[in-house]
Structure 1
Amino acid sequence: MAKLTLTTFMTLDGVMQAPGGTEEDRTDGFEYGGWSVPFADEEFGRFMDEVFGRVDSFLLGRRTYEIFAAYWPQVTDENDPIASRLNALPKYVMSRTLDKAEWNNSTVIRGDLTEEVNRLKQQPGREVQVHGSARLAQSLIALGLVDEVNLLVFPVFLGKGRRLFPDGGTPTAFELTGHRTTSTGVTIQTYRPTGPAEFGTFALGE
Structure 2
Amino acid sequence: MSKLKLQMQISVDGFVATGPNDEQKWVTLVWDEVKQYVLELIDTTDTIVIGRKLAVDYIPYWENVSTKPDDPFYEAAQRIVRARKVVFTKTFDKSEWDNTDLAKGNLVEEIEQIKSNNKKDIIV
What TM-score do the two structures reach when normalised by structure 2? 0.79
Q: What is the identity, as a one-letter code, of the residue corresponding to 2:114?
A: L
Instruction: State the Cα deviation string for residues 146-170 of structure 1 (Å, max 9, x = none).
Output: xxxxxxxxxxxxxxxxxxxxxxxxx
Candidates 29, 35, 52, aligned match of 1:62: 52
Structure that is richer in helix per residue: 2
CA shift at 1:77, angstroms?
Answer: 5.6
Task: Give aligned pairs, total.
Answer: 119
Distance 1:23 1:107, change over 3 A: farther
Aligned to 2:95: 101
Bigger RCO (CA 8 Å, 6+ sep): 2
CA RMSD of the aligned region, Å? 2.3
Distance 1:49 1:38, change over 3 A: closer
Candidates 28, 49, 64, aligned match of 2:39: 49
Aligned to 2:7: 7
- The runs of 5 or more residues in structure 1 that have no matched partner are 26-32, 131-206
Structure whose CA Rg is larger:
1
- The runs of 5 or more residues in structure 2 that have no matched partner are none
Once residues 76 and 38 of structure 1 are traced to their aligned partners in structure 2, the CA distance between those partners, rounded to angstroms, is 18
Distance 1:23 1:100, change over 3 A: farther
SS class of match (1:42): helix
Once residues 4 and 58 of structure 2 are traced to their aligned partners in structure 1, the CA distance between those partners, rounded to angstroms, is 19
Instruction: State the Cα deviation string for residues 6-61 of structure 1 (Å, max 9, x = none).
Output: 01222445443x36xx4643xxxxxxx33523631422111111111111111111
Q: What is the identity, as a one-letter code, of the residue corresponding to 1:7?
A: Q
Once residues 31 and 62 of structure 2 are traced to their aligned partners in structure 1, the CA distance between those partners, rounded to angstroms, is 20
Identity %: 28
Divergent runs of 4+, >6 A: none
Once residues 97 and 20 of structure 2 are traced to their aligned partners in structure 1, the CA distance between those partners, rounded to angstroms, is 21
Distance 1:24 1:100, change over 3 A: farther
**Does residue 67 of structure 2 align to residue 76 of structure 1?**
yes
Candidates 114, 117, 121, aligned match of 2:115: 121
Aligned 8 A contact 1:94 1:108 in 2: yes
Once residues 100 and 23 of structure 1 are traced to their aligned partners in structure 2, the CA distance between those partners, rounded to angstroms, is 29
Structure that is richer in strand per residue: 1
SS class of match (2:35): helix
What TM-score do the two structures reach when normalised by structure 1? 0.51
Aligned 8 A contact 2:82 2:99 in 1: yes
